[in-house]
């Protein structure tokens, strides 16, 4: 399990237990959760990693944005089949117990700060060079891209103040990492007959 999934799983489990304390038994454990629910938690983690200043209202707005993009609409009851959810309202209109969910989510993500600070943000040079994006999930492609992006970002830290020949070597190393990542991702791409 990679770091993003570990944080998302922890957020999900905190939310599940909190929902149970409110009498809502509808949340399955992470291992039994549907993929859309897991992806929603991962999206939330990535949002807070890339927007560390965002508070509970920003968290809710991001969640609503991804729900709307996925075809969900407001409904009085949560129904994954119909894609309806009663929390698809502005943050200020949520009951306090629903607002707490966003605060808990942020607290969990921030508790992993030491781990997440090592991960590349989506606007970093490394992420840009290897085309690491929000759509990358826990696939092998994402693992290759994340590792390469982290190395490129480490090299960038060494560039400042380095002599010109070291800077050229850093540029060459970054380019090789970019190319190696592209070939690694291509090598594990399913063959056309499997698609």
Q: What is the pLDDT of residue 137?
A: 53
What tens digit of pLDDT does each residue of 58-117 get? Answer: 999 999 999 999 999 999 999 999 999 999 999 999 999 999 999 999 999 988 876 665
Question: Is 50 exceeded by the pLDDT of residue 123?
Answer: yes
H or E segment at 14? Answer: helix 3-21
144 pLDDT tier (thresholds 50, 70, 90): confident
Residues 6+ apart with CB under 8 A from 88: 64, 67, 68, 72, 73, 74, 75
Q: Say how many C-beta atoms besides its own lie within 10 A of residue 65's C-beta.
A: 12
Predicted TM-score (pTM) of this structure: 0.62
Give the domain ranges of the chain. 3-116, 125-187
Task: Copy the structure tokens of residue 131.
Answer: 């085309």
């Amino acid at each position: 399990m990679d770091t993003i999934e570990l944080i998302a799983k922890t957020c999900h489990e905190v939310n599940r237990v909190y929902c149970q304390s409110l009498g809502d038994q509808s949340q399955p454990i992470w291992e039994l959760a549907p993929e859309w629910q897991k992806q929603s938690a991962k999206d939330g983690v990535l949002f807070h990693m890339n927007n560390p200043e965002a508070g509970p209202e920003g968290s809710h707005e991001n969640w609503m944005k991804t729900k709307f993009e996925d075809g969900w609409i407001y409904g009085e009851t949560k129904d994954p089949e119909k894609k309806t959810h009663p929390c698809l309202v502005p943050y200020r209109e949520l009951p306090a117990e629903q607002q707490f969910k966003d605060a808990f989510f942020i607290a969990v993500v921030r508790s992993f700060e030491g781990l997440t600070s090592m991960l590349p943000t989506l606007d970093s040079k490394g992420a840009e060079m290897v085309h690491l994006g929000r759509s990358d999930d826990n696939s092998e492609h994402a693992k290759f891209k994340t590792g390469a992006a982290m190395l490129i970002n480490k090299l960038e830290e060494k560039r400042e103040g380095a002599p010109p020949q070291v800077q050229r070597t850093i540029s060459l190393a970054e380019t090789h990492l970019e190319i190696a990542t592209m070939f690694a991702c291509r090598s594990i791409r399913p063959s056309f007959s499997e698609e």
